[in-house]
Chains A and B, each alone.
Chain A
Amino acid sequence: MNPVAWQRFLQLPMPSRHDVDWRHLDLRALRLERVEKRTQPARVTFRGQPPTGVIFGKLSGHRTEANRFLGKAIAWENRHKFVALHEALWEDGAVVLVPKNCRVTDPLEIHYELPNHDSAAFPRTLIVLEPGAEATVVQKYTGAPSLQAGATELFVQPGAHLHYISLHQLAPTSFDFLIKRARVAQDAEIDWVIGMFGAALGRYDIECEMEGRGGSSFMYGVGLGAGQEQLAQFTHQHHRSGDTTSDLLFKNVLRDRAVSSYTGTIRVEKNCNGTNAYQSNRNLVLSREVQCDTRPVLEIESNQLRCTHGATVGRLDDNQMFYLRSRGLNEAQARQILIEAFLEPVLARIRVDTVRREFEELIRQKIIR
C-alpha cells in the first residue's frame, strides 16, 4: 500500500451531488468501509504474438523495465477520491513496452476479468511505445466487482503510432472508476476508441497531453446507458506544445432512466501557437426519463490556434424514422439503423474487425434489444 496516497484517500470527502463534477450522480449504493480487506487481483489474460523484444505481460514480472515510466503519465495530486484509492491500493496489472522502431502488426489484447461480487480491484496498465514504434493495443474490462478503480498510463514517444481500444463492460451493480492519460511526443499519434458500455456508475477520465510538435491525438468514445446506469465522462485535451492536434468525438446513447454527464476540457498553454483542438459530444436520448448533461471547459492562453467545440442532445429524428419505415422497415429495424448510423463515425475508427464486431454486438444487446 502507498501510505501517502492512502492518507489522501482518507482525507478526501466522499463526492456528493453538491460538487459540480458529481452533480446528477448518485454514489449512495457504493459501500467503501471494508474495501481494503476485499481487494482481489483481477485475472489478466493476454492475447497476441508480439515480436521478440516487446514486453507484454503482467506488470509484476517486468518491474525493472516499467519503473522508468510507472506513475509518470498521471499527476496524482488534485484528483478525485477514487484515483487516490487506486494509487494507494494498486498492486499489479499489465504492461506493453514496444522498443524503438518496432512494428507490431498483431493486435495485443489485455483482458481484465474482474472478481465478482463483494470485492474490489485496482488494475494498473502501462503502455509505452518507444520512438518510431507502432502497435495496436486492445484493453477489456469485464466482470461484476462492487468496485474497480483502475488507471492506464500511455506513452507515445517521438514518431510512434498507437491505436488504442478500450472496452469497459461491468455489471449494472459495479462502480467503475478509470483514469487514462496519454503523453504524446513530437510527431507521435494516438488513435483512441473507448467503449463505455456499462456500470452502476462509471466515471472515465480520458486525457491526452500534447508535448511535442507534430503530435496528434484522435480521441473517440462511445457510451451506453440503460436502466438506472450512470455515466460520467471527463476528457482533457492538454496542449503543452504548439503545432499539435487533438480531435475528440464522444457519442452516447441513453435509454430508460440512464444519467450521463460529459465534461470536456481543452487546455492550451502559453506559446502553443498552431494548436488545433476540436471537441464534440453528441448524445442520443431514447426516453424521456433520461438525464443528460454536457459541458465544455476552455482554458486557452495562446491566440493563434484553431479550436472548436460543440455538443448536442437529441432524439431519433421523426422524418428519418418515417423515411425508413416508408421503405418497409419496421419500427425496431428503423431504430436500430438510426442508432447504428449515429455511432458509425466512432465505430469506423476501430481498425480491428473482430473488436468492431464485438462493439456492434454489445450495442445491439444493450441498446436495441
Chain B
Amino acid sequence: MTDTFEIRDLHVSVEDKPILKGVNLVVPKGQVHALMGPNGSGKSTLANTILGHPKYTVTRGDIRMKGESILEWDTDERARRGLFLAFQYPCEVPGVRVSNFLRMACNARAGRELDVMEFYEKLEEKMKKLDMDERWVKRYLNEGFSGGEKKRNEILQMLMLEPEFAVMDETDSGLDIDALKIVAHGVNELRGPNIGILIITHYERILRYIQPDAVHILVDGRIVKSGDADLATHLEQHGYDWITKEVVA
C-alpha cells in the first residue's frame, strides 16, 4: 500500500484540549471517500492537521503519504508534494489578485517557473469548466466573494494545482444547486487513478453527484462507522442519534 494516503491512530489537541482521539483512515489513490459527522466532531481539525496548521498539535499517531510520514514537513512542503485542502472558511487576502496568487502557487507546485502563456491557457480552461468569467481572477483573493464564490474559487485552485490527495471541507455548504453541479462536474473530471479525495460533508446531496467509494462517520474524534454510499443515505434519513447509541451499546 504505497500509493495511499494513510492516517494512523491520530491524536490531535488544540490548546491542550484533545479533539481527535485515534483516527484511522486509508484513502488509496483513485478513490473518493466521504467523511461525515456532527458539528464539532473534529472534521475540520483533521483537515487542518493534514495540512499542518500550527494551532493543531499531533500528540500521537502518524499521517503518511505514499509510505512516508508527512508530520515533519512544513505546510508549504506538504502542498508542493501534492496535498490540498479546500477550506471550509477560505480566508480573504485583500491586495492579492487571484491570478497572481495562482501563478505563484502553480510555480511552487511545479518547482519551476511555468510558461506564462501556458499558465493562462490552463487557467482559462479550468475557469470555463467552473463557469467563471475572467473578471473573477482580477479580483482580490476572496475579498468580498459570496460564500458560494469562495467555495468555487477553492475548487479552481484545486483544479489548477492538480493535487495527489485532496480534502474538501464542506465545499458543498453554501453552494446553490447549479453551482453544486458545476463544482461536482469539475471534481469528477479531476477524479482518476492519480488522485485520492476526501470529501467532508453534512449532506448526502453532493455524494449523489460525486459517488464515493466509502463513507466514514466521525463522532467525538473517532471514526465510529465506515460503509458504502448507502451509509450516507441512511444518515440523511436518520441523523446521527442511532450511531451514537449503537457505539455506546
Chain A residues with CB under 8 Å of chain B are: 317-320, 322-331, 333-334, 337-338, 340-345
- Cα A333 to Cα B55 in complex, Å, equals 21
Contact (Cβ within 8 A) A337 B90: no
Main secondary structure of the interface of B (DSSP, over half): mixed
In chain B, what residue has the closest Cβ to A333? B104
Question: Across chains A and B, which 5 residue pairs bring their CB atoms closest together, nearest first?
Answer: A341-B95, A328-B108, A344-B95, A328-B79, A327-B105
CB distance from A315 to the nearest CB of B (A): 14
Contact (Cβ within 8 A) B90 A323: yes
Picked from B75, B93, B94, the residue with its CB within 8 Å of the CB of A326 is B75
Q: Residues 78-120 of chain B: 1 if any A CB is under 8 Å from the residue's CB, otherwise 0?
A: 1110001101001101111000010011001100000000000
The residues of A that contact B76 with a CB separation of less than 8 Å are: 325-331, 334
Chain B residues with CB under 8 Å of chain A are: 51, 53-55, 74-76, 78-80, 84-85, 87, 90-91, 93-96, 101, 104-105, 108-109, 140, 157, 161
Given A341-B94, A344-B95, does the pair A328, B80 have CB atoms closer than 8 Å?
yes
- Cα A333 to Cα B107 in complex, Å, equals 12
The residues of B that contact A337 with a CB separation of less than 8 Å are: 93, 96, 101, 104
Given A322-B53, A322-B54, does the pair A330, B96 have CB atoms closer than 8 Å?
no
The residues of B that contact A319 with a CB separation of less than 8 Å are: 91
- Cα A343 to Cα B79 in complex, Å, equals 27
The residues of B that contact A340 with a CB separation of less than 8 Å are: 95-96
15 A-B pairs besides A320-B93, A327-B108, A337-B93 with CB distance below 8 A are: A317-B91, A320-B91, A323-B91, A324-B101, A325-B75, A326-B51, A326-B78, A326-B84, A329-B108, A331-B74, A337-B96, A337-B104, A340-B95, A341-B94, A341-B96
The residues of A that contact B90 with a CB separation of less than 8 Å are: 323
The residues of A that contact B161 with a CB separation of less than 8 Å are: 327-328
Interface-central residue, A334, A340, A341, A343, by most chain B CB under 10 Å: A341
- Cα A111 to Cα B194 in complex, Å, equals 58
- Cα A81 to Cα B17 in complex, Å, equals 58
The residues of B that contact A317 with a CB separation of less than 8 Å are: 91
The residues of B that contact A344 with a CB separation of less than 8 Å are: 94-95
The residues of B that contact A320 with a CB separation of less than 8 Å are: 91, 93
CB distance from B126 to the nearest CB of A (A): 15
Given A318-B54, A322-B53, A337-B96, does the pair A328, B105 have CB atoms closer than 8 Å?
yes
- Cα A328 to Cα B80 in complex, Å, equals 5
Contact (Cβ within 8 A) B93 A324: yes
The residues of B that contact A325 with a CB separation of less than 8 Å are: 74-76, 79
The residues of B that contact A329 with a CB separation of less than 8 Å are: 76, 104-105, 108
- Cα A318 to Cα B93 in complex, Å, equals 12
In chain B, what residue has the closest Cβ to A318? B54
- Cα A354 to Cα B28 in complex, Å, equals 52
- Cα A323 to Cα B87 in complex, Å, equals 9
